[in-house]
A and B are shown apart, each in its own frame.
Chain A
Amino acid sequence: MNSSASFWRWFWVVVIAVPIAVFIVWANITNPRQFVSTLLNGVTLAALYFLVASGFTLVFGLMRNVNLAHGSLYLFGAYMGWVVGDATENWFLAIAAGFASAALVGFLLQISVFRFMQGQELRQTMVTIGISIVLADLMLWWFGGEIYSFDPPRAIFKSMPMLVVNKYPTYRVVVLGIAIVIGLVLWWFLNRTKVGMMIRAGVDDRNMLAASGVNVQRVFAITFAIGAGLAGFAGVIGGTALSISPGEDTRYLMASLVVVIVGGMGSIPGAAVGALLIGLAEQFGLAYAPTYGVVFTFVIMVLVLAFRPTGILGRRAA
């Protein structure tokens, strides 16, 4: 029994790892430049996905609330950031506005709607779907179907020297740096501050946290605001890298969903691992198999669900 289980584990490792290794060797021999630039694109896209998905997974982990309006919050933050950036001509203020506006919406949603349906997970999810439909249409109404783009400081929007590929857009590297910083800040916040400890305690056992005298509703509201704020923050960062237009909400909701399903629901390191896998899969898919790119993402999701239904770093819900 035991030996057969370990045999199957090795079997699958070989089945999955060998083709990947062969591909890496082949791609490096035939066109190392394409390979390295795809790798860089994948890692930097993963950074953006991590920014979006970390808020989603934070909210899910604590409140078991599948916030399907997360993509709309992303887009909302991006539009608000654009409005502020356009008025003040300051990109950093735009980022702050993106975070603050989305955080405010998240906070209001938690204290005015979700607080009253605690524990009704399916209903909460339905409500977030309704909110996403309404928000998407309101934003389409207000901002129209045009494509908006940001005007970041020149210094970070040039290209920089890079090994093998020679030149690479600075901004993409900046996004990677921001994601790493945000990841570290989240780690520090969750592990070293009192509120963070409350959040972690709430993820493990909500009732016990309430029983020890913590105002759980306040912790929930803070968490929801941070999660939503991260979506808005990512909206400005991602909107600068690409652009803002209707439909981006679905794209980033989808990205957060898949990242979180693959990485493990409710786990921040899981979001990082999932984002890396999905970002790389997407970029390599686009570069090497254009019309089947999305299949790679899907195959990763299927494999993870088949062998680890709770995600790579996920734990079963308490």
Chain B
Amino acid sequence: MSAAQWRRAMNSSAGGNAWARPAGASASSPAVVARAASTPPVGASVAFGEAIRAIRFRHVVILLAVLIYPWVATPFFVYQIGGQALALGLIALSLTFLGGYGGMVSLAQMATAGVAGYMVAIFGIAGEAQGGASSLGWPWWIAVPIGIAIATLFATFVGWLSVRTEGIYTIMITLAIGVSFYYLVQQNYSIFGGHEGFNEVHAPTVLGANFSHAIPYYYLALFWALTGYFFIKYLLRAPFGVALQGVRENARRMNALGFDVTAHRIAAYSIAGVLAGIGGVLMVWYNGRISPGTVGTGPMLDILIIAVLGGMRHPIGPFIGAILFVLVQNFAIDIIARERFNLVIGVVFLSIVLFSPDGLLGLWGYVRTRFQAGGVQLKLKGRSVG
């Protein structure tokens, strides 16, 4: 977000305050500048036309590629790689939105997804669970909205709790909440089915399409991933998203401008909760079951790894990260040994954090600017010689 964009956004939403960012704090990294150049600011009415004009050739290619992918790939690649990456990417997208744009790195996103998954199992149809926990057996079109609604409420509660503290405290508190949820579902047999959780939570068959099969599931996950992606892209340029990024940059100043900082932050948690909830429903249908292992510390950190691997500066990041993560997860067996998957992914994560804090997107942006800078230099050299 460039300083000019900021000022314009502030002027339109905060009653024409003259507001300039200090020179030192203005966007200076190449990635930010590049993004600002590619996403022009929107007024509400011209947004659609702008969006149409912003479509590039590569966007069409990627869209076509993901659409015809299931017809050229094997079912394993469609379901285990494609479907899983899209579902995990959607959950990680909620973290990218919170962390990258709201400045609040929450580790409780997997717990939110888990709440949705558990609720679908509890309200919907699932196999008999241990210790007297039983599902109510309601149809999916009641159970799924209830699940997502409860997940959203849960996320709002997490937000209400963690916005009281800032920065690194958020990561501690959300981690503590996530682990508490894990211990709760593990210890509790009467509602959550304890250690075993719920089995046989299958995706429904709607209009002849059985969503537990590879290709229908892939398209279902793709639909929600695209919806989530474009929703976040839209939201980031809407007044709320701009204000949220303002809160990330400088909460005190936004407060002084009359924005309710706390409300914006909690709302961001709720929105991320909806995304994570949808991802959680997709996840429970993907696995066909849900148990404490699904929401343990490992999966919680996996979401963070995915978001960081891809890069938190653009909503496409989590999906790129998820594809890489799922590929490593499935093919670590060829690199070293299946049981050592955590070692491989841990080392990849560590090197990304140590050497490229903006993830693969940051790496790509770095390579591109280096490449372009090199080209410019060559041109200048040629001119001075001539």
Residues of A within 8 A of B (CB): 64, 66, 68, 113, 121-123, 125-127, 129-131, 133-134, 136-138, 140-141, 250, 254, 257-258, 260-261, 265, 290-295, 297-298, 301-302, 305-306, 309-310
Contact = CB atoms under 8 A, between A and B. Distances in A.
A250 B297 contact: yes
Most chain B CB atoms below 10 A, which of A129, A292, A293: A129
Contacts of A137: 340, 342-343, 346
Interchain residue pairs A-B with the least CB separation, the first 7: A133-B346, A130-B350, A134-B346, A309-B164, A137-B342, A294-B183, A137-B343
A138 B343 contact: yes
B169 A130 contact: no
B113 interface: no
A278 to B, nearest CB: 11
B173 A127 contact: no
A129 B301 contact: yes
B176 interface: yes
B350 A125 contact: no
A66 B167 CA distance: 11
28 contacts: A66-B171, A122-B105, A123-B357, A127-B350, A130-B349, A130-B350, A130-B353, A131-B350, A133-B301, A136-B342, A137-B342, A138-B343, A254-B180, A257-B176, A257-B179, A260-B172, A291-B189, A291-B190, A292-B184, A295-B184, A298-B177, A298-B180, A301-B176, A305-B162, A305-B164, A305-B165, A309-B164, A309-B165
A307 to B, nearest CB: 10
B308 interface: yes
Given A121-B168, A131-B350, A291-B189, 7 more contacts: A66-B168, A130-B350, A141-B339, A141-B340, A250-B179, A302-B161, A305-B161
B354 interface: yes
Contacts of A133: 301, 342, 345-346, 349
A125 to B, nearest CB: 6
A156 B382 CA distance: 83
B281 interface: no
Contacts of A298: 177, 180, 184
Is chain A's interface secondary structure helix, strand, loop, or mixed overall? helix
B17 interface: no
A29 to B, nearest CB: 28
Contacts, number: 101
A265 B350 contact: no
A132 B162 CA distance: 23
Contacts of A134: 342-343, 346-347, 350
Contacts of B167: 121-122
Contacts of A297: 180
Interface in B275-316: 297, 301, 304, 308
Given A66-B171, A257-B176, A306-B161, A127 B353 contact: yes
Contacts of A131: 350
A256 B167 CA distance: 18
B323 to A, nearest CB: 20
Interface in B338-364: 339-340, 342-343, 345-347, 349-350, 353-354, 357
Nearest to B354: A127
A315 to B, nearest CB: 13
B157 to A, nearest CB: 9
B165 A294 contact: no
A308 to B, nearest CB: 9
Contact of B168 (A64, A113, A291): A64
Contact of A292 (B164, B188, B342, B347): B188
Most chain B CB atoms below 10 A, which of A127, A254, A295, A306: A254
B187 interface: yes
A265 B339 CA distance: 36
A119 to B, nearest CB: 12
Contacts of A305: 161-162, 164-165, 173
A250 B176 CA distance: 10
Most chain A CB atoms below 10 A, which of B301, B345, B353: B353
A250 B301 CA distance: 12
Contact of B353 (A126, A254, A301): A126
Given A129-B301, A306-B164, A291 B187 contact: yes
B88 interface: no
A136 B53 CA distance: 49
A293 B161 CA distance: 21
Given A122-B171, A131-B350, A133-B342, A292 B176 contact: no
A68 B161 CA distance: 20
A123 B352 CA distance: 11
B250 to A, nearest CB: 16
A261 B161 CA distance: 12
A246 B212 CA distance: 34
B354 to A, nearest CB: 7
B303 to A, nearest CB: 12
B329 to A, nearest CB: 13
A309 B167 CA distance: 13
A291 B183 CA distance: 10
Contacts of B173: 261, 301, 305
Contacts of A302: 161
Contacts of B340: 137, 141
B148 interface: no
A261 B172 contact: yes
A121 to B, nearest CB: 5
